[in-house]
Structure formats: structure tokens, C-alpha cells
Structure 1
Amino acid sequence: MANWRPPADMTARVEHFDPRPGGRYRMVLVYPDGSVSHGKSSEHEDVIDGRFVEIFPDERLVEEVQFESDDPRFQGTMTITTLLVPVRDGTRLTITATNVPPGISESDHRTGMEATLRNLANFVE
């Protein structure tokens, strides 16, 4: 997860990981040195607390995610659903997110999710 989840030039460290329904994880996304972006949790970090809602191996993963932030624009629970569908030459993976905090623009969110998918493709190839 730390290898493929962080968008763009960010890095990640996983501080807790319990991959079962109801299990939780905590991941810290770190912005690169010199970045003009400001983190949601601190100047250079986004801290994510996640919970695995459903895990159906090789089919579907549903997570509830919250950013640790004092800014109400980044608070709330986002749901991320990952679907895996067998196709002729492999697997089609689709990630959707609902209830994205209003402080995250649609274009920034799309860019981040696209980077995550590219990272995952590179990781598994």
C-alpha cells in the first residue's frame, strides 16, 4: 500500500495495518521537500485513518477513510470502493470515491486517483 497508494511525488509510511473487515489502518502521506502544497494534517503531511468495511478477495474492497485535520473542509468520512473484474488479458480495476471532503477539488482528486492507479500498475507489472 505504501508503494502504490501515494499520488504524484509523495511517499507514504503505513503505521498500522489490520487487513480484515472492520480492521483499521493508518497511513501518512508525505509531500516532497520543497513542495508548494500544504498538507491536510500538517504542513507536509496528510494523515489518513482508514477502516476496511468489506473485503471480498479478487472482487471488491470497500474502505472508509478520514483525513486527520483541524480544517473542516477536509473532515468527514470518504468511502473508497475498489472493484476487480476479470477481462481477457488481465483484470480491470476501478476505484470510486464518494463523500470526498469539500476541501479536495475534483481535479486534484482525479489527478491523485489516476496517479495511484499508475503506481499500482507499475507495482504489479
Structure 2
Amino acid sequence: MTQTRVARRIRASPAAVYRALVDADAVAAWRVPDGMSAVVHEFDARAGGRFRVSLTYESADRLGKTAAATDTYHGRFVELVPDERVVEELEFETADPAFAGAMRVTTTLAGADGGTDVAMLHQGVPPGVSPQDNELGTRMALDKLAALVESRSASAIT
């Protein structure tokens, strides 16, 4: 089973980061690699709650896993521990067996000097997704998460 792990320190409290993990609008803003846009179709942030998200390439010549230039995935929240952890199971909506199968994403938050250490562990990454691409996309998303919550935290202070 292929897995990837990406970590980053974010200059915001664990509570601020957690809120961005369980808010549909925030997820649409940050949980998307560069060069793509996100649409959250369904999002019920509670244990057992379901979600469905589409990521669409800005460049129409890119091939998506679901359709034309789009990757759509759906899943459920397995566990939510406020300010500490979010565990999700998700899978791409695809006819291509190379991208099929459930993947578990565990996001952990730990208070750290000056903010929060955020780690995202992807387990069961489908064979059609290269670990390098998964890590790069996750790094891009965590950079956007940092920009989002750090700007909110800064504006809350002023």
C-alpha cells in the first residue's frame, strides 16, 4: 500500500486550522493544487458525514480522472477530534482501475512554538497517482491552508 506524508508549520492556532479543515468554503479555497479550482458539492463535517468535491484543471488540455479536465472524489469523515485530528476515507469517481480504491487521509494538528504543526498522511494512494504528484499537490494545498488561516488570524488580532 502506497502512502505519503507531508507536514508544515502554520502560524495559527490549532483551533483556527481545525476550523478550516471542517468548513466547506474554506476547503474549497485551500484543498486544491495550483492550476486547479474546487467545487464542494456536499460537505457534512461530522463522524459518518459525507462529502463530495470536484477539482478542475484551469488548463483544458489536462486530463482528469473523472471527466475531461476534472477529478471528482467522494467519501466520509471517519473521525473528527476538534483541534487535533480529522480522518477521512475518500475515493475518486473514475472508471480507470489505476485510480480506483479507497484512500484514508489523516490530518493531525499539534500545537507548536508560533503556531500549529500540520501533517497529512495519505494511505492507500491508488497506483495511478504517483507519490511525488500526491506529495506536491498536498504541499500546494497546505501552503494555501497556511495563507488562509494565517491571514484570518492576523486580521482577528488587528
Match of 1:20 in 2: 46
Match of 2:11 in 1: none
Off by >6 Å, runs of 4+ in structure 1: none
Partners of 1:82 and 1:107 in 2: CA distance = 18
SS at 1:61 equivalent: strand
Larger radius of gyration: 2
Match of 1:56 in 2: 81
Match of 2:124 in 1: 99
Match of 1:70 in 2: 95
Gaps of 5+ in 2: 1-26, 151-158
SS at 2:106 equivalent: strand
Residue correspondences, number: 124
Higher helix share: 2
TM value normalised by structure 2: 0.77
SS at 1:2 equivalent: helix
TM value normalised by structure 1: 0.96
Offset at 1:95?
0.4
Offset at 1:106?
1.2
Partners of 1:37 and 1:107 in 2: CA distance = 18
Higher RCO structure, 1 or 2 (CA under 8 Å, sep 6+): 2
Root mean square deviation of aligned Cα: 0.8
Partners of 2:33 and 2:145 in 1: CA distance = 10
Percent sequence identity is: 44
Per-residue CA deviations over 1:104-124 (Å, capped at 9, x if unaligned) read 011111110110111101111
The one-letter amino acid paired with 1:80 is V
